[in-house]
Structure 1
Amino acid sequence: MSIGRKVAVITGASQGIGAALVEAYLERGYSVVGTSRSIAPSSNPNLLTIAGDIGDPATGRRVVDEALARFGRIDTLVNNAGIFLAAPFADHTADQYAQVLSTNVNGFFFTTQAAIEAMEKQGSGHVVSITTTLVEHPTAKVPSVLASLSKGGIAAASRSLAIEYATRGIRVNTVSPGIIKTPLHPVETHEFLSALHPVGHMGEIEDIVGAILYLENAPFVTGETLHVDGGQYAGF
């Protein structure tokens, strides 16, 4: 157990934004628990990695329990794991629907429930979840009903949680990205994806990391959706 270090739990931590968040929190002196299906074991005493499907209701509870056993506390949960499937609404299959709801909604619900239970006992904590600006500003160029259904639910639930736990020392916020350069987007799609933003380019992983770290250090901010989307929310 690392006495005196704050602890961050990060889902979807094996690549992209999640992996960058792991490094950012470690650099700031946190102990970190990272989870994803394919995350590699860690030899760093301040980094605990846990492989598992976050859509399984048992995984979130296991991640929180192992975090508490190893480090003794949880100060921050970043719900970063998510699936985005762009397809016409009528073309989505039942399996796709189940997959998106499992990862996006189950992953948020059961992990957040377990983490907030631990945070309430210690009298403090912060939950921040990744949503998408498509929830509030859809575009015909990117059919996104499943994203809006799942991530929109997370945004609404986060505001509700922020109010429910406002007097108990727990803050709950969301970050709403535009399209970010991650391994999910092949280089050949970048020109098209860049044009979906008023600023004319995609976001960088560092933009999202910076937004989450801002919220980490903003004790008077809760129930907020921070748009990091190159102007998409303002209109295009």
Structure 2
Amino acid sequence: MNTPKVVVITGASEGVGAALVSAYRELGYAVVANARSIAPSTDPMVRTVAGDIACPAVRANAIGEAVSAFGRVDTLVNHAGVFVAKPFTEYTEDDYARVTGVNLRGFFEISQRAIDVMLTHGGGHLVTVTASRDNGLPSALASLTRGGLDAVTRSLAAEYASQDIRVNAVTPAHAPGDGDVVDAIVHLETAELVTGVVVRVDGGR
């Protein structure tokens, strides 16, 4: 019996995240879906891990559930993210901790865990949903965190290309259609020679 590929998706309870769960199931993947609040799935090939990805235990549980339930991690979709719109001088220490805890540390540590597992199975794919804020909202803190993810995408793609781990990102507009973002991620998933790219999904904005 063939073992299905396995994807871990953060921020998977609604919108783009929930649509990604369905899209990956259509591709034949087993799914581990994480969100701060998420109900158990009736699909035996979908496991859910509730909790904030900023919490170290939740990051460990998401990857651990994939390995214990399905034996591997082939793809990690970093979709969880926090956006706080404030004038730059009004950001508080709590704002900084909240945003960086998800957008940077959450990304960093779950990606480390996922790549570590991918290396034992001969490759994989890491794809991150970053954010484009070209709509006039004050977004310095989002730019600091999410902009850095574009750069680390290229860096990790170069670092792991020889080990068959691809690393890509999708940058949506502030309010894109869910399907457009999902389509871009599915395209990257199936484009086996594409790595180190940041795909903008913003209608030319």
After TM superposition, is the score higher than 0.5? yes
Question: What is the rounded CA distance, in whole Å, between the counterparts of 1:88 and 1:172 in structure 2?
Answer: 32
Q: Which residue of 2 aligns with 1:144?
A: 139
Question: What is the rounded CA distance, in whole Å, between the counterparts of 2:18 and 2:106 in structure 1?
Answer: 17
SS for the counterpart of 2:83 is coil
Instruction: Say yes or no: does 1:173 pair with 2:173.
Output: no
Aligned partner letter, 1:81: A
SS for the counterpart of 1:107 is helix
Q: Which residue of 1 aligns with 2:59?
A: 60
Q: Which residue of 2 aligns with 1:133?
A: 132
**1:75–1:126 contact (8 Å) kept in structure 2:** yes
Question: What is the rounded CA distance, in whole Å, between the counterparts of 2:162 and 2:60 in structure 1?
Answer: 24
Aligned partner letter, 1:63: A
Aligned partner letter, 2:33: G
Question: What is the rounded CA distance, in whole Å, between the counterparts of 2:27 and 2:120 in structure 1?
Answer: 24
Shift in CA distance, 70/3, structure 1 to aligned 2, threshold 3 Å: farther
Q: Following TM superposition, by how much is the alpha carbon of 1:15 offset from its aligned partner in structure 2, in angstroms?
A: 0.8
SS for the counterpart of 2:53 is coil
How much is the aligned-residue C-alpha RMSD, in angstroms? 1.2
Q: Which residue of 2 aligns with 1:162?
A: 157
Aligned partner letter, 2:199: L
Aligned partner letter, 1:220: L
Instruction: Say yes or no: does 1:215 pair with 2:188.
Output: yes
SS for the counterpart of 1:179 is coil
Instruction: Say yes or no: does 1:94 pair with 2:89.
Output: no
Q: Following TM superposition, by how much is the alpha carbon of 1:213 offset from its aligned partner in structure 2, in angstroms?
A: 0.3
SS for the counterpart of 1:126 is strand
Q: Following TM superposition, by how much is the alpha carbon of 1:58 offset from its aligned partner in structure 2, in angstroms?
A: 2.7
SS for the counterpart of 1:39 is coil
Q: Following TM superposition, by how much is the alpha carbon of 1:4 offset from its aligned partner in structure 2, in angstroms?
A: 2.1
Q: Following TM superposition, by how much is the alpha carbon of 1:3 offset from its aligned partner in structure 2, in angstroms?
A: 4.4
Question: What is the rounded CA distance, in whole Å, between the counterparts of 1:55 and 1:155 in structure 2?
Answer: 19
For residues 6-45 of structure 1, the aligned pairs below 5 Å read: 6-45=5-44
Q: Following TM superposition, by how much is the alpha carbon of 1:22 offset from its aligned partner in structure 2, in angstroms?
A: 0.4
Deviations 1:159-214 (A, max 9, x none): 1110100000100000010022xxxxxxxxxxxxxxxxxxxxxx210000000000
Question: What is the rounded CA distance, in whole Å, between the counterparts of 1:37 and 1:10 in structure 2?
Answer: 12
**1:57–1:106 contact (8 Å) kept in structure 2:** no
Q: Following TM superposition, by how much is the alpha carbon of 1:220 offset from its aligned partner in structure 2, in angstroms?
A: 1.3
Question: What is the rounded CA distance, in whole Å, between the counterparts of 1:147 and 1:158 in structure 2?
Answer: 16
Question: What is the rounded CA distance, in whole Å, between the counterparts of 1:175 and 1:144 in structure 2?
Answer: 18
Larger Rg belongs to = 1
**1:59–1:111 contact (8 Å) kept in structure 2:** no
More moved, 77-86 vs 56-65: 56-65
**1:56–1:106 contact (8 Å) kept in structure 2:** no
Q: Which runs of 5+ in 1 are unaligned?
A: 181-202
Q: Which residue of 2 aligns with 1:199?
A: none
Q: Which residue of 2 aligns with 1:121?
A: 120
Question: What is the rounded CA distance, in whole Å, between the counterparts of 2:204 and 2:86 in structure 1?
Answer: 24
Deviating 4+ runs (over 6 angstroms)? none
**2:132–2:174 contact (8 Å) kept in structure 1:** no
Match of 2:200 among 203, 224, 227: 227
- TM-score normalised by length of structure 2: 0.96
Give aligned pairs, total: 205
**1:159–1:224 contact (8 Å) kept in structure 2:** yes
